[in-house]
Amino acid sequence: MPTTITPTKTEPKPRRQLEDHDHGSGRRPPTDKRTGGGGDNDNWNDRPNGRRGPRERLVRYRMGIFFALASDLMFFVAIVSTFFVSQSTGHFDAYNNYVNEWSPTLIPPILWLNTAVLILSSITMETARRRMFHEVDVMDEWLGLGKPITRAAIPWVAATVVLGIVFLIGQWIAWTQLATQHVFFLSNPSSHFFYLITGVHGIHLILGIFGLAAALVGLYVSRSLETRQIMVDCAAWYWHSMGIFWLFLFTLLVFFQ
């Protein structure tokens, strides 16, 4: 039986009883009292360990990806801190003049378009993610009617991949546009950061596209619905975060140079 059907009705929380061996020294055990469907052998409480309940693995992987993203956030925070420090740092030249060499890099207008593409890709990805948890489709699959969830999600994941690649091509065009204006990585402290931020973010997106591609393959290959859900769900959270990081970085590049 698929592990993903969430019963609409859960057991009421029982009152604390002496048989629980709970003397009030702690809260109730962190167990999810919901069952997998109510059958005799489907009692999650009989599982030996872990957080008992539907979507057990999914929640675990999702939490893993969130911690990884928190770590990644610190990476970008460090680079942005450096951005502000470099921006406000100068030196005294031979004539004792204070020199600040920072001259803002003009943002190629195509980045606005890219940003729109990335926001759109987040929308397609969220649609795909939500399709993965469509309960009517879960029931259809359980009844042996194929993989309706996967069929519904694949176009949206594929659209996200395409939009992601469009975004990356757009970033490349922005770089070439800057290069035709003779603004290179080494031109200025400001341009270091423009290329560094867009480059590092681009590498993150390439990794994300690999993740999406893996999810696409997984949607075809994997028989376990929960595995498919995990792949799309984690790829989606990663993708959304890269979108949010980009909005943050883009705001920085446009308004705070």
Q: Which residue has the tokens 């030996």?
A: 48
Q: Could you tell me the CA-to-CA distances from 205 to 19, 105, 239, 243 in Å, in that order? A: 53, 23, 8, 9
227: contact with other proteins by CB under 8 A: no
Stretch that binds other proteins, among 43-51, 135-143, 205-213, 243-251 (CB under 8 A): 43-51
Stretch that binds other proteins, among 46-54, 212-220, 224-232, 244-252 (CB under 8 A): 46-54
Candidates 34, 104, 177, 185: give the one binding other proteins (CB under 8 A).
185
What distance in Å separates the CA atoms of residue 59 and residue 223, rounded to the nearest whole number? Answer: 19
16: contact with other proteins by CB under 8 A: no
136: contact with other proteins by CB under 8 A: no
179: contact with other proteins by CB under 8 A: no
Q: How far is the CB of 28 from other proteins (least distance, A)?
A: 8
75: contact with other proteins by CB under 8 A: yes
Stretch that binds other proteins, among 35-43, 56-64, 136-144, 244-252 (CB under 8 A): 56-64
Identify any residues that bridge with 98 across adjacent strands, giving them in sequence order. Answer: 92
Nearest-Å Rg of the Cα atoms of the chain is 25
Candidates 34, 104, 192, 248: give the one binding other proteins (CB under 8 A).
192
64: contact with other proteins by CB under 8 A: yes
Candidates 39, 67, 97, 143: give the one binding other proteins (CB under 8 A).
67
Q: How far is the CB of 229 from other proteins (least distance, A)?
A: 17
Number of residues that bind other proteins (CB under 8 A): 52
Burial of 40 (0-12, 13-18, 19+ CB in 10 A): exposed
70: contact with other proteins by CB under 8 A: yes
Candidates 12, 30, 39, 144: give the one binding other proteins (CB under 8 A).
30
Where in 23-131 does DSSP place strands (E)?
A: 91-92, 98-99
Where in the chain does DSSP place strands (E)?
A: 91-92, 98-99
What distance in Å separates the CA atoms of residue 147 and residue 219, rounded to the nearest whole number? Answer: 9
Pick between residue 116 and residue 221 the one whose CB is nearest to other proteins.
Answer: 221
SS3 113: helix
For residues 63, 68, 70 and 72, what is the CA-based torsion angle, rounded to 10 degrees? -160
Q: Directed axis angle between helix 225-255 and helix 148-180, to 10°?
A: 20
Tokens at residue 233, please? 């769900």
Give contact residues for other proteins (rule: CB under 8 A).
Answer: 21-23, 25-31, 45-46, 48-52, 56, 59-61, 63-64, 67-68, 70-72, 74-79, 81-82, 85-86, 89-91, 99-102, 185-186, 188-189, 192, 196, 200
